[in-house]
């Protein structure tokens, strides 16, 4: 399991290093978490895709406005660093944008990864910033196209397997606000400081009568427990209550 929280010029090398370490451990599948990755360096996304794809695969095509000379197709080079039979899942949501979408589309369209989660944000444009008078101007100069030739701007990328985010409905907001006002969650965590699955599930059952879904209550109290932990002691992933992650694990184990 690897989280890609953003793309930098170093992401490709860092990702390769971690993947190689995991390969030595004999992994049978890889989950790459791009949820809430708002993008970053395009080169980092292209280098990352290059790790998994054989030479000659289209990664992304950039088509510029007439006269800008920005048209360019990027293809993978060299041999893939990971065996083709190793299943890969990429987790996405509406916070996955820009370079994160370039990576996800390159992997999905080339048949190298299965996307699980919700539709991505839909930022498929290149923008240049330059001085204009006493300030700056930002101008769209090109569009990204996926390997399948799709322009995802304002559309996003649909996952192969849809697993909705857990979220409050409009009807639950008043009950949630009252829960916060009454400091119910923090009081419960103070009285039950052990962040066990049993304590988390018990909280959800105790307060479901307030009109909030148990799944939402579970995540609220889990997050409160996490906030009380030193940062370096927090678990990398939530293998119990993260249903998108759990669906990814199920897919890797069963192929479905």
Select from 109, 50, 91 the least CA-distant residue to 251: 91
Which candidate, 73, 89, 82, 66, places its Cα nearest to that of 2? 89
The CA–CA distances, whole Å, from 209 to 3, 175, 205, 227 equal: 35, 10, 8, 25
46 vs 100: CA distance, rounded Å = 10
* E-strand stretches of 146-182: 161-162
d(Cα 68, Cα 227) in Å, to the nearest integer?
48
Give how far the C-alpha of residue 127 lies from the chain's centroid of Cα atoms, to the nearest Å. Answer: 23
Helix (H, G, I), strand (E, B) or coil at 182: coil
CA distance 237 to 33: 10
User: Which residues does the annotation mark as catalytic?
Assistant: 98, 109, 123
For the chain, counts of helices (H) and of strands (E): 8, 9
CA of 29: how far to CAs of 8, 163, 218, 250, in Å?
25, 19, 28, 11
Angle between helices 214-228 and 197-207 (to 10 degrees): 130
């Amino acid at each position: 399991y690897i989280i890609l929280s953003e793309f930098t010029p170093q992401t490709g090398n860092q990702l390769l290093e971690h993947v190689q370490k995991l390969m030595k451990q004999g992994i049978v599948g890889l989950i790459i978490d791009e949820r809430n990755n708002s993008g970053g360096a395009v080169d980092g996304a292209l280098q990352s895709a290059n790790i998994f794809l054989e030479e000659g695969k289209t990664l992304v095509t950039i088509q510029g406005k007439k006269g800008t000379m920005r048209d360019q197709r990027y293809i993978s080079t060299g041999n893939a660093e990971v065996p083709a039979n190793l299943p890969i899942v990429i987790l996405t949501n509406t916070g996955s944008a820009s370079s994160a979408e370039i990576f996800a589309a390159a992997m999905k369209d080339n048949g190298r990864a299965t996307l699980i989660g919700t539709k991505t944000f839909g930022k498929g444009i290149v923008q240049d910033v330059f001085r204009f008078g006493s300030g700056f101007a930002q101008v769209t100069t090109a569009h990204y196209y996926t390997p399948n030739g799709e322009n995802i701007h304002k559309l996003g990328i649909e996952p192969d397997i849809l697993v909705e985010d857990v979220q409050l409905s409009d009807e639950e907001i008043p009950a949630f606000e009252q829960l916060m006002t009454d400091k119910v969650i923090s009081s419960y965590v103070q009285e039950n400081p052990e962040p066990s699955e049993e304590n988390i599930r018990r909280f959800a059952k105790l307060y479901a009568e307030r009109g909030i879904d148990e799944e939402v209550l579970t995540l609220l109290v889990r997050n409160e427990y996490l906030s009380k932990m030193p940062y370096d002691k927090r678990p990398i992933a939530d293998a119990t209550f993260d249903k998108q992650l759990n669906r990814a694990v199920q897919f890797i184990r069963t192929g479905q």
